[in-house]
């Protein structure tokens, strides 16, 4: 990549709360603080990975970025144009440029439609002037490009394996020539033996089509393989933002350090495995101050009281941590 590239997707101070959390039997009504003030710029051409444990708000943020959720506060821009407040009609061109691949290829493909119909539907909607022959040719081209047999058209999703289905989902996303693809844990529901293959299909598509990705995963080994930059999320906030290489070479935020230490690696000392200590807070009982403080070995009174801002560091990473800012970590 040559020099800094322009921002494709701007996420500014995005907050997403849901009503309707809490124990239904106890008639509790509690707010779920799924995303609590995220600011990120996804640059043209990069593969931005968002990592974090289950429940930290990754899918909610992804759905908000792509317009499936309205943010409670904050803004989303696409090439500088604000898109979170558009009418469905004004949003239509952006819906073509931004496509999503979901985690579960069993749920995301309509079981009553043939593969041909599934693939033709988005292109007929967004490019109604294309002839039948042009649509057919496009289906064939895209199916081949993701390693699928282009003659699968008359069959139904249930006739395929998980990996084949996910490649059909990827083909569906690529049918309309998107610029930006949000992939929400696209390989985590798949058999380990075919995860790498599907990841390679996504990387080939990136190289052939100059795609920008927001790639969501809880698996750091995938990040190392796929991502140019990484955002680490914890309870609805981004605690560290770094180039992939920098993050793995020198994780700075205490949470990132623990997350990296938890990857089983066979190194000189054999397998290391560190587990997080402390109660697991949820998006309904958000801790005060730094959301990570109850589990942080370096937390002090300031960490309990004051929310740390994500601050740019001299080396290009950004970290939200009072301890690092004060030089005591
Ligand atoms: N539609 C919803 N209604 C209420 N709570 C939700 C909804 N969607 C997600 N949540 C809650 O928001 C938090 C973040 O969820 P999610 O974004 O799915 O996390 P992740 O994708 O990182 O696992 C969780 O506590 C989840 O239960
Ligand atoms: Mg999720």
Q: What is the mean pLDDT of residues 74-86?
A: 97
Atom number in ligand 1 closest to CA 35: 14
For the chain, state the CA radius of gyration: 21
Atom number in ligand 1 closest to CA 282: 25
| Gap between the Cα atoms of 185 and 168, Å rounded | 16
Q: What are phi and psi of 78, to 5 degrees?
A: -130, 120
| pLDDT single digits (tens) 178-230 | 999 999 999 999 999 999 999 999 999 999 999 999 999 988 989 998 999 99
| Gap between the Cα atoms of 269 and 7, Å rounded | 41
pTM tops 0.85, yes or no: yes
Q: Are strands 237-243 and 180-184 parallel, antiparallel or unpaired?
A: unpaired
Q: What is the mean pLDDT of residues 278-302?
A: 90
- Is residue 185 within 8 A of residue 133, CB to CB? The reply is no
Q: Which residues pair with 168 in a beta bridge?
A: none
Interior angle at CA 99, CA 95 and CA 105, nearest 5: 135
Interior angle at CA 90, CA 95 and CA 88, nearest 5: 70
Which pLDDT score is estimated for 22?
A: 65
Which pLDDT score is estimated for 23?
A: 73
Q: Ligand 2 centroid vs 141 CA: distance in angstroms?
A: 31
Which pLDDT score is estimated for 318?
A: 97
Q: Is the Cβ atom of 54 under 6 angstroms away from ligand 1?
A: yes
Name all domains of the chain by residue range, CATH numbers in brackets.
Answer: 7-325 (3.40.50.300)
Which pLDDT score is estimated for 118?
A: 97
For the chain, give the percent of residues with pLDDT over 90: 83
Residue nearest to atom 3 of ligand 1 (CA): 18
Render 24-89 in DSSP notation, one character per residue: TTTT--EEEEEEEEEEEEEETT-EEEEE--TTSSHHHHHHHHTTSS--SEEEEEETTEE-TT--HH
| pLDDT single digits (tens) 19-58 | 876 676 777 778 899 999 999 999 999 999 999 999 999 9
Written as six digits, the tokens of 189 are 């529901």
Render 235-254 in DSSP notation, one character per residue: TTEEEEEEEHHHHHH---SH
Model confidence at 267: pLDDT above 70: no
User: Which protein residues have a CB closer than 5 Å to ligand 2 (ion)?
Assistant: 59
């Amino acid at each position: 990549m040559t020099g800094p590239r322009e921002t494709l997707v701007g996420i500014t101070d995005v907050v997403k709360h849901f009503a309707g959390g809490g124990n239904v039997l106890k008639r509790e009504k509690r707010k779920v603080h799924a995303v609590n003030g995220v600011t990120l710029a996804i640059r043209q051409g990069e593969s931005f990975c968002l990592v974090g444990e289950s429940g930290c708000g990754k899918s909610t943020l992804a759905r908000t970025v792509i317009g499936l959720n309205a943010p409670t506060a904050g803004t989303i821009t696409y090439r500088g144009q604000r898109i979170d407040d558009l009418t469905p009609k004004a949003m239509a061109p952006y819906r073509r440029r931004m496509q999503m691949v979901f985690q579960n290829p069993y749920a995301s493909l309509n079981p009553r439609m043939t593969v041909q119909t599934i693939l033709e539907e988005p292109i007929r909607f967004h490019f109604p002037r294309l002839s039948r022959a042009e649509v057919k040719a496009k289906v064939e081209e895209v199916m081949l490009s993701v390693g699928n047999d282009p003659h699968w058209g008359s069959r139904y999703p249930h006739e395929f394996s998980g990996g084949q289905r996910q490649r059909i989902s990827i083909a569906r996303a690529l049918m309309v020539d998107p610029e930006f693809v949000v992939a929400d844990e696209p390989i985590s529901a798949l058999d380990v033996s075919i995860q790498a293959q599907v990841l390679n299909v996504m990387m080939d598509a990136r190289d052939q089509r100059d795609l920008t990705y927001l790639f969501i995963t809880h698996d750091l080994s995938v990040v190392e393989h796929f991502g140019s930059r990484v955002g680490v999320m914890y309870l609805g906030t981004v605690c560290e933002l770094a180039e992939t290489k920098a993050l793995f070479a020198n994780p700075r935020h205490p949470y990132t350090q623990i997350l990296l230490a938890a990857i089983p690696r066979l190194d000189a000392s054999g397998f290391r495995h560190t587990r997080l200590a402390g109660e697991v807070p949820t998006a309904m009982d958000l801790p005060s101050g730094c959301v990570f403080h109850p589990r942080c070995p370096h937390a002090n009174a300031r960490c309990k009281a004051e929310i740390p801002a994500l601050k740019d560091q001299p080396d290009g990473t950004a970290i939200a941590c009072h301890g690092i800012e004060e030089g005591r970590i």
